[in-house]
Amino acid sequence: MLDVAIAYNRYGFLGNEFLTWLWYTLENHSAQLAEIDADLSALEIGNRMVLENRRNEGLETITIKGDDAGLEEGLLALKKGALVTEMNLLYRSGDNTWQFNLKGESLNISSLKTPETAGTETKEDIEGAVLEKIFLYEKVILFVEGAFRHFVGLRISENWDKKIIIQMKKWINKTS
Amino acid sequence: MGLLSQSVSITRYRVQGQLEEPVLDTIVLALNRHAVLDIDNDAAEKSCGWTSFENPFAPDFEGSNHLFGSYLVFSLRVDKKSIPAKILKKHFTIEETKRLAASGRRFFSRNEKKLVKEEVLHRLSLRIPATPHIYDLIWNYEGGKLWFFSNLKAANEELETLFSESFNLSLIRMFPYTAAEMDADLSDSDRDRLNQISPVILTGQT
């Protein structure tokens, strides 16, 4: 395995490609995501997306914010060569919704809000509350891990260059 | 950030290595040995160590306080004293003026000033309480996984250092490369392909 610090910088793009692929997949092949995670009812883009274009020796950052924000600017940025570097996601399972930010470079999860849990009034409640929270956090973490594992499998497969990139380019050019 | 908060940030780790049996006793021993020390009545400017999840200001790892089902739950506490620059300057100036008057001199050398400043800093450190920063963690020992409830770089670095010192185990942060390398069930040839990939270009027509 490569030195961790070198690997972090050298393969940061892999996480950004993952988020870009995730957006493409949830727009075009959402059934694939349900195959990765049987508990998933729906995955949606939430209220924030950040894209970065590092080409031409400069850095252009595009941030799209707002509950009903259109993602046309994001698609335009993809067309110009940007990748998604951070996105807010809504993970739905049954009647429950989890909302969180996922960062490409680190795969860190932030601002994670789980479905509401019962309050803790007594010391005995705390153990139950902790175990319930662990269960709820695990849902999102397992999804992220499963989706990333699936993406890596695709990324190093022959299909990536022969099929998936072509389809992603078609999506980007068709919709913007 | 507490794991029971409304909104949390999580950094994922893999833990590699085995602890000496009985594992729980080894963990308690390490937690006690590296428990956070209170520095409110001490001149130290920083203290970093483990504390209890339920009672972070009175670390207690005896019994099963840190066991929740099959998970270990405890916290990293970093206490820091920050003395505002203006307060330091005020007390330094007062002390310097007093000493100059007592010695009958008009000014001090750079080294003398440095000594006065250190003394003032020491005295203020004894009077100023430390600000505690508490970060919870969940450790699934059997699964070799750890979730740390902060994405802050400094907090994660403190965790990695203290964890390694306390348990002598490898704590590997899961970011794209490590997640692909360790978590994607890759064969040797897959790993070779992974190490050769370069950034995708999505511009242009198909």
What DSSP assignment string belongs to B29-56?
HHHHHTBPPP-TTSS-SEEEEEEESS-T
| Domain limits for position A109 | 4-175
CB distance B3–A1 less than 8 Å?
A: no
Residues B132-143: what's their mean pLDDT? 96
Residues A91-108: what's their mean pLDDT? 96
φ and ψ at residue A92, rounded to 5 degrees: -115, 135
Using alpha carbons, select from A18, A85, A26, A76 the residue that is nearest to residue A52.
A85
Residues B137-160: what's their mean pLDDT? 96
User: How many A-B residue pairs are in contact by the CB < 8 A criterion?
Assistant: 138
- B49 confidence band (pLDDT: 50, 70, 90): very high
Residues A166-175: what's their mean pLDDT? 89
B chain contacts of residue A78, beta-carbon cutoff 8 Å: 202
Mean pLDDT of chain A: 90
Specify which residues B75 forms β-bridges with. Answer: B51, B136
How far off is chain A from B67, nearest CA to CA, in Å? 9
Mean pLDDT of chain B: 91
CB distance B9–A20 less than 8 Å?
A: no
- B5 confidence band (pLDDT: 50, 70, 90): very high
SS3 of residue B14 by DSSP: strand
Residue count of chain B: 206
Task: Transcribe chain A into DSSP letters.
Answer: ---HHHHHHHTHHHHHHHHHHHHHHHHH-HHHHHHH-TT-SEEEEEEEEEEEE--TTS-EEEEEESTT--SHHHHHHHHTT-EEEEEEEEEEETTEEEEEEEETTT--EEEEEPSP-----SHHHHHHHHHHHHHHHHHHHHHHHHHHHHHHHHHTSHHIIIIIHHHHHHHHHHH-
User: Which residue would you say has higher pLDDT here, B183 or A84?
Assistant: A84
Neighbours of A76 (CB within 10 A): 15
> pLDDT per residue over B10-42, tens digit each?
999 999 999 988 999 999 999 999 999 988 888
The chain A residue lying nearest B68, using CA atoms, is A127
Asked if the C-beta of B152 comes within 8 angstroms of chain A's C-beta atoms, the answer is: no
Please compute, for residue B70, the number of CA atoms within 13 A of its CA located in the half-sphere on the CB side. Answer: 7
| Structure tokens belonging to residue B95 | 């002390």
CB distance B197–A155 less than 8 Å?
A: yes
The radius of gyration of chain B from alpha carbons, rounded to an integer in Å, stands at 24
pLDDT at B125: 86
pLDDT at A157: 94
pLDDT surpassing 80 at residue B104: yes
B chain contacts of residue A9, beta-carbon cutoff 8 Å: none
Q: How many structural domains does chain A have? A: 1
Tell me the percentage of chain A whose pLDDT exceeds 90: 70
Residues B98-113: what's their mean pLDDT? 90
pLDDT at B147: 98
Tell me the percentage of chain B whose pLDDT exceeds 70: 99
Asked if the C-beta of A17 comes within 8 angstroms of chain B's C-beta atoms, the answer is: yes
pLDDT surpassing 60 at residue A176: no
| Structure tokens belonging to residue B131 | 């600000």
Specify which residues B138 forms β-bridges with. Answer: B73, B147
Least confident of A47-51, A95-99, A152-156, B200-204: B200-204
Residues A17-28: what's their mean pLDDT? 96
Asked if the C-beta of A120 comes within 8 angstroms of chain B's C-beta atoms, the answer is: yes
B chain contacts of residue A15, beta-carbon cutoff 8 Å: 175-176
How far off is chain A from B119, nearest CA to CA, in Å? 39
A chain contacts of residue B6, beta-carbon cutoff 8 Å: 113
pLDDT at B203: 81
pLDDT at B183: 85
Q: Report the alpha-carbon distance of residue B204 to residue A81 in Å, rounded.
A: 9
Using alpha carbons, select from A19, A18, A13, A22 the residue that is nearest to residue B198.
A13
Asked if the C-beta of A142 comes within 8 angstroms of chain B's C-beta atoms, the answer is: no
Nearest-by-Cβ selection for B202 from A2, A11, A168: A168
User: Which residue would you say has higher pLDDT here, B103 or B139?
Assistant: B139
pLDDT at B65: 79
Can you tell me which residue has the tokens 């590997």?
Answer: B172
How far off is chain B from A69, nearest CA to CA, in Å? 22
Using CA atoms in the order A15, A19, A22, A27, what is the torsion angle rounded to 10 degrees?
-160
Nearest-by-Cβ selection for A149 from B9, B184, B204: B184
Asked if the C-beta of A149 comes within 8 angstroms of chain B's C-beta atoms, the answer is: yes
- A71 confidence band (pLDDT: 50, 70, 90): confident
Residues A83-93: what's their mean pLDDT? 96
